[in-house]
Amino acid sequence: MATDLTGELAGIVGADHVLTGDAIGEDYSHDECLTTEWAVPDAVVRPADTAEVAGVAAWCNEHRVPLTARGSGTGLSGAAVPRAGGVLLSFERMSDILEIDTDNHTAVVQPGVTLDQLDAALAPLGLVYPVFPGETSASLGGNVNTNAGGMRAIKYGVTRHHVLGIEAVLATGETIRSGGKVVKISTGYDLTQLVIGSEGTLALVTEATLKLHPRLPHAATVLAPFPTLEAVTDAVPRIVDSGIGPMILEYIDLLTMSAMTAAEDLGLGIPAEVQETALAYLVVVLENAHDDRLESDVETLGMQLAELGAIDAYVLPAGAAAKIIEAREKAFFLAKANGANDIVDTVVPRAAIPDFMAKVQALAGETSSWIAGCGHAGDGNVHLGVFQNDPAQRKVVMEG
């Protein structure tokens, strides 16, 4: 590490925006990853624009100093943790929405813009950026760098499906531009898609052009209890094939639902006798531009759920709907808080979920483990908490 680090970096971003020693708060040493150890950088820099980002990158490259990018620190991958020490570059000052183009349905944002900040600006315009990884304080730069997905991926896809172009800084300090407002570019390499999901290892995204969608005004959340987990997983492909196009399609097993309701009164209004027999649940959110069409879709879904073996189907009031979605997003952390020894976040082809979950339950029985879970059933993304104190047995579960 260069001895004149502070002075030289201060010459790039200003002395007030170089933090070292005790001035580095603990927030800069971690993100929300549950399995990555915290690490304190040698310095935190907070650039104001692309030129300053380029200057920091060039300086780190010249002096062979590790450089880690940080958005708002809500990521679950550990990408923002400065495990190699060096310089942590925080995008917190680069938080401007540069443009909202209502004709082309695009927005140009700096990386520090948060999801809730962008949504507040888009709502009055009848537009939405639909990617919702679960934490509204997440930054768009972090979303781009991790290719964030979330509950709405079944309908809208993940981040890479909504990024039309980027401005980015390479490790050398060189600034590049790729893509733009147009939907299709057939010339040259698609550097935009290459950089998305690279977690700051290929380039530091300093600006992103995002694709927007019309904001649909009508939505309904349906909760369906099932007598077995197998019935839930078998139902998922059938619901997807039905053509009703759910915006959200989540499964929650009994252990997870019990933990969620114990942590907070969700106000779901499910009769006690149903709760006593349900071993798993589906949460389905539908949306539409027209209220009558939404009602028709809900009716169709209700009939289909009955055919697929659901005990019943409940259209939740707005308050309960919001609570169960929020609780579902917190389930990852709830499992850890309740003593999960390992957390699994994996994805399988949607049609393979029934076989996968059957094998998971078999492993649980063979190893006397508790394995609780939920997930984005619509796109095959499964979240599991493994409760097994015996390291040998836990290894069997994790490698099984």
Using DSSP's 3-state secondary structure scheme, residue 385 falls into strand
H-type helices in the chain, by residue range? 5-13, 50-63, 115-122, 140-146, 153-156, 191-195, 229-241, 254-263, 272-277, 291-307, 318-329, 331-337, 353-366, 391-399
Cβ distance 125 to 75 under 8 Å?
no
Distance of alpha carbon 233 from alpha carbon 150, whole angstroms: 18
235 Cα distance to chain centroid: 24
Distance of alpha carbon 53 from alpha carbon 248, whole angstroms: 37
A 10 A CB-CB count for 161 gives 15
User: What one-letter code names the amino acid at 203?
Assistant: A
Domains and CATH numbers, the chain: 5-90 (3.30.43.10), 97-214 (3.30.465.10), 218-399 (3.40.462.10)
List Cα–Cα distances, 278 to 63, 138, 184, 223, 235, in angstroms.
60, 34, 47, 12, 15
Q: What is the pLDDT tens value at each position of the chain, 400 positions in all?
A: 545 788 999 999 999 999 999 999 999 999 888 778 898 999 999 999 999 999 999 999 999 999 999 999 888 788 889 988 899 999 999 999 999 999 999 999 999 999 999 999 999 999 999 998 888 899 999 999 999 999 999 999 999 999 999 999 999 999 999 999 988 888 889 999 999 999 999 999 999 999 999 999 999 999 999 999 999 999 999 999 999 999 999 999 999 999 999 998 898 989 999 999 999 999 999 999 999 999 999 999 999 999 999 999 999 999 999 999 999 988 988 988 888 899 888 999 988 988 999 999 999 999 999 999 999 998 899 999 999 999 999 999 998 7
- Dihedral in degrees, nearest 10, Cα atoms 78, 81, 85, 88: 140
